[in-house]
Amino acid sequence: MAITLKQLSVNGPGLSPAVVVFDSRRTLVRGPSDTGKSHIWKCIWFLLGGTGALEQFPESKGYDSLELAFLHGEHEYRVRKAMSGGAARVLMRQNALWVADGAPNPLEDVVQDLGELLVSLSGATGKLVLRTRSEKGPITGDDLRHWALLSQPRMISEDATKGTGHGSDKHVSSYSLFLSGLDDSAVELYKSASEKDHAKGMLAAAESELARLKGLIPADANRASTVQALERLDERLNMVTTQFQARSSALKELRQQIAITGNALTMASIQLASATSMHERFMMLDLKYSSDLARLGATNEGIEFFEALEETPCPLCGTPVEQHVDTGNLKPSAPSKYRNAIAAEAEKIRELRRGLQPSLRQEQARISIATTEVERLKESLKLLEEQETLVLRAASQEFDADPRELAESHTRLSALIDAFDESSRLQAEITRLERATKQKRTALVRNVGSHGDKVGAVARQMLHDWGFTSIQSVYVDAAACDLIIDGRRRLSYGAGKRALFLTAMTIALMQHALTEGHPHLGVVVLDSPLKAYAQKESLDDTDREIPTATVNASFYRWLSLFKGPGQIIVLENEVLAPATARTLGAIEFTDDYTRGRQGFYPRRLTSAQSPGPSDGTEFGDLA
């Protein structure tokens, strides 16, 4: 859905606003030079996202802000901007026709960027165009303005319609989008300069690495023979591995037997030590028993000797023995009791000693058995260890190659094969990078189908309506974004026809895009499309076969009957018939300060009158 310009106003503190109201389909602002018509074009361009600052002149003194109102569906938008430049403020509300309680809906700020908003309203959101053959980007407000706002200098310019310098490539892409509805999403990009430089750096690194690898590969070596040598080496390594596995299996069994025998020897040694220890303890106990018997025998002999002694008085004091000892001990039965006790104790010890003898004999037997077992296991272990030594010695004698040398040869051959493979990969990478650094340039031919013929047909009918009835063929050269009229490029015609033919193409492109549902701003603003053709003396216009009056009258009549689709705003110097002016509702500027509207800016009675802004000042730098 397209936008429709509603009103342009310029404001200043204490000054009457300069206002021009646009018809929803066609508007003509007509008047002589220096009345501000081209200034209106510049203001519209400026408020639709153009950068820079507007040129100041006496009539604009004191004015500091501009506002452009336009409609889109049920919404009204207002763009406000300072004449000196800066950011634009965008406001939106429901269309003023939609009122509540008799009051218009309030304006609300739009956060979205103005350029993005215009792209969105024109139906071009998400569309990609080529900015260069190495870069894509979304369509911008600049593309919309380029194909919708035609300044007077551009009308007669001999430059290509796409413009010159930065942005010309994307203007071609956007033209194709408006014409065919297809963007450049599917177009493959060329490598950018930075990408090519990156590829060149990678190419140099790959070539350096390839040279290094080739230095590691012997001159007489090739991959096939190296693979065969590695296969033979693998066979030998497999044989060695098999032999090692066989020997390892035999050794495993021997070592298991050695471990079992060693464990048994350990247990037998423990039993021998245990039996020896018990035997020694029992021997010590037997010796103790013998010692106890000897002690008891000595005691018994002492008592027996005591009994044989006669009683004798004390040799010192001569007193009898009864006075020195317990008289009970002097009874004849007392020593007998002691001797009986000693005899009983001795018999007890002898009984214990007799009981100890079986234990001694048992431990002696255990010692004998354990000693025999230890000796047997030691001999078995010695035989097993000798067998292990023989197996290891036989294994070393059977291998005809050193495993270390085989492993080193395997590593060397594997590394050589890796070098061959890496060289092949690098060679393929070098080939790819060489193609990347030398990317072939091909012409970009966009498939516009029959859309160019349709736009040409609309433009041809338009030119016939303007009086150029002798034109037989008109079609669009999509690559040049321009018309071919009767087999001639538009730029090959004189200035007057160049302006009118460009006007026809611009309007036809808008109508076609809106009819087909293609993106487009939906409005065309034309600054002086008739002026160049109407000039009587022009070295550039040698093919003016149709009278100027005829073209002017036909153009204005056609404009008065224009019903869309789209909106056309024309700013023109050439006079028109009063009846046509009334039909058009033309806005007339005069240079007479005594009648009518003197120009875009209201007259200031308190200041001296000065000439207005020139309609012919070039504004191309701002576009």
Residue 610 binned pLDDT confidence (cut-offs 50, 70, 90): very low
User: In which region does residue 486 sit, left (phi positive, over 0), alpha (psi from -120 to 50) or beta (all else)?
Assistant: left
Q: Which of 344, 377, 401 is where one domain is finished?
A: 401
Whether residue 132 is found in the same domain as residue 214: no
DSSP H or E segment with residue 621: none
Where do we find the tokens 């549902």?
517
> Could you give the CA distance from residue 258 to residue 252 in angstroms, rounded to a whole number?
10
pLDDT tens per residue across span 557-590? 999 999 989 999 999 999 889 998 899 999 999 8
Rounded percentage of the chain residues whose pLDDT exceeds 90: 35
Q: Is residue 409 part of a domain?
A: no
Give me the mean pLDDT over the 371-390 stretch: 87
- Tokens linked to 306: 């005591």
Whether residue 233 is found in the same domain as residue 259: yes
Spell out the residues 6+ positions from residue 273 whose beta carbon is closer than 8 angstroms to its own: none
Whether residue 21 is found in the same domain as residue 163: yes
Whether residue 170 is found in the same domain as residue 210: no
> Could you give the CA distance from residue 46 to residue 151 in angstroms, rounded to a whole number?
13
Whether residue 208 is found in the same domain as residue 234: no
Whether residue 161 is found in the same domain as residue 214: no
Residue 488 binned pLDDT confidence (cut-offs 50, 70, 90): very high
Q: Is residue 319 part of a domain?
A: no
Could you tell me the CA-to-CA distances from 410 to 223, 241, 398, 422, 424 in Å, in that order?
14, 14, 21, 18, 21
pLDDT tens per residue across span 25-53? 999 999 988 888 999 999 999 999 988 77
Among 89, 63, 65, smallest CA distance to 78 is for: 89
Whether residue 383 is found in the same domain as residue 456: no
Stronger pLDDT, 473 or 74, i.e. the higher one: 473
Whether residue 360 is found in the same domain as residue 427: no
- CATH classification of the domain holding 564: 3.40.50.300
> Could you give the CA distance from residue 438 to residue 447 in angstroms, rounded to a whole number?
27
Stronger pLDDT, 8 or 317, i.e. the higher one: 8
Q: Which residues of 479-498 are buried (b: 16+ CB within 10 A; e: fewer)?
A: ebbbbbbeeeebbebbbbbb
Whether residue 451 is found in the same domain as residue 369: no
Q: What is the DSSP string of 460-491?
A: HHHHHHTT-TT---EEEETTTTEEEETTEEGG
Residue 416 binned pLDDT confidence (cut-offs 50, 70, 90): confident
Q: Dihedral through CA 10, CA 15, CA 18, CA 21, nearest 10?
A: 90
> Could you give the CA distance from residue 605 to residue 598 in angstroms, rounded to a whole number?
12
Spell out the residues 6+ positions from residue 364 whose beta carbon is closer than 8 angstroms to its own: 279
DSSP code, position 4: E
Residue 138 has pLDDT above 50, yes or no: yes
DSSP code, position 10: E
Angle at 584 between CA 60 and CA 554, to 5 degrees: 110
Whether residue 340 is found in the same domain as residue 260: yes
Whether residue 567 is found in the same domain as residue 420: no
Angle at 232 between CA 230 and CA 236, to 5 degrees: 110
Angle at 136 between CA 130 and CA 142, to 5 degrees: 65
Residue 264 has pLDDT above 50, yes or no: yes
> Could you give the CA distance from residue 338 to residue 301 in angstroms, rounded to a whole number?
11
Average pLDDT, the chain: 84
Residue 110 has pLDDT above 50, yes or no: yes
Give me the mean pLDDT over the 425-433 stretch: 87
Q: What is the DSSP string of 118-175?
A: HHHHTT-TT-EEEEETTEEEE--HHHHHHTTEE-HHHHH--S-TT-SSTTHHHHHHHH
Residue-level pLDDT at 403:
72
Q: Is residue 19 part of a domain?
A: yes
Residue type, 273: A
Q: Is residue 408 part of a domain?
A: no
Q: Is residue 63 part of a domain?
A: yes
Rounded percentage of the chain residues whose pLDDT exceeds 70: 87
Give me the mean pLDDT over the 190-201 stretch: 73
* Residue ranges making up the domain that contains 481: 4-190+447-622
Whether residue 467 is found in the same domain as residue 503: yes
- CATH classification of the domain holding 377: 1.10.287.620
- Tokens linked to 350: 């002898």
DSSP code, position 43: H
**How many structural domains compose the chain?**
3
Give me the mean pLDDT over the 63-80 stretch: 93
pLDDT tens per residue across span 328-349? 655 666 778 888 888 888 889 8
pLDDT tens per residue across span 441-462? 666 777 788 898 999 999 999 9
Residue-level pLDDT at 620:
41
Q: Is residue 318 part of a domain?
A: no
Q: Is residue 568 part of a domain?
A: yes
Q: Is residue 317 part of a domain?
A: no
Give me the mean pLDDT over the 125-145 stretch: 87
